[in-house]
Amino acid sequence: MKRAIVFGITTGLLLLLGVAVGAGAEESVFSPGNYYLISIGAVTGKVTSLIQTGQENGFTVIVLNDGGISAYRGIEQTQEAEADLISAASLLYVDRDRFLLRVQGPEFDYEVRPREKGCDIVLVPHQDMTESDLVTDVLIPLQEMGVVGEEIDMEEHKTFVLNPEKSEAAPAGVAIDSNLYNLMIAPDWLTAAEEKGLARTGLRVSVVAEKVPAGVVPDQFKTYVVSETDTLAKLLLPIEDLVSLASDSSIGYVRPPYQPQPAVP
């Protein structure tokens, strides 16, 4: 019987931690040296309410919308540059209707962020943590902020090495640049984009999709197209959609835009 944490969507209460039943059943342990991607399904609640709650809880809050960017340290608005804000230990970054919420602490770090369907929690433990620790130390505080997921399947989480000797290879059939794929699975999107030299705007990244002959950008991604020719399309794409775009049969390869190189004297 698989482990699942089920949330009451209507009441917003954590109703059940179902664990494996039977002799010798034990909780999973999340260990330091690894990080874990755990799906929490669709998240209920409004982004506007989350912004207010984040401000009241002393988070650094960045809000990006069609009118530009605004930022707050708690409830106080600030004119600091985004680059000076994104290292905050408690950060809420809102990109229109999507958000990233990050908390860093002595015992663990976590990041709640979009996935292709719903949201992930990215857990980076600094010491052994059990499923019960995840509930009491992460999920319940998130619930108190209004971040309530539909369901967590403990058996389906993905495990990655925190500091691997080499980059993770993209899944078979996914024609994508290594830096872009490793951005998508990174424990911290904002830090990873900067380290990899990728052009990020909010929770989106600039990419070029190389089309196959007669290929077209799939309909669900057309809203993100910045410019296009018969063979190439430049997009400002949500980070969680990178693999989905690169897996489409109309796309031959997804890569960062080429950067101009200085002339050799």
The whole-angstrom separation of Cα 69 and Cα 41 is 28
* Whole-structure pTM value: 0.90
Domain boundary among 111, 129, 161: 161
Q: What is the pLDDT of residues 5-29, one digit of tens each?
A: 544 433 343 444 443 333 445 778 9
Same domain, yes or no: 230 and 134: no
Per-residue pLDDT at 16: 44
Same domain, yes or no: 110 and 157: yes
Same domain, yes or no: 128 and 25: yes
Same domain, yes or no: 30 and 151: yes
Same domain, yes or no: 221 and 126: no
Same domain, yes or no: 85 and 147: yes
Count other C-beta atoms under 10 Å from residue 23's C-beta.
4
Q: What is the pLDDT of residues 26-36, one digit of tens each?
A: 778 999 999 99
Q: What is the pLDDT of residues 125-140, one digit of tens each?
A: 999 999 989 999 999 9
Per-residue pLDDT at 23: 40
Same domain, yes or no: 98 and 30: yes
The whole-angstrom separation of Cα 240 and Cα 184 is 6
Per-residue pLDDT at 264: 57
Same domain, yes or no: 127 and 43: yes
Structure tokens at 168: 């993770």
Q: What's the structural domain count of the chain?
A: 2
Provide the domain limits for residue 9: 4-161
Q: Among residues of the chain, what percentage have pLDDT more than 90?
A: 78
164 has pLDDT over 50: yes
Q: What is the pLDDT of residues 54-73, one digit of tens each?
A: 999 999 999 999 999 999 99
Same domain, yes or no: 96 and 126: yes
Same domain, yes or no: 35 and 134: yes
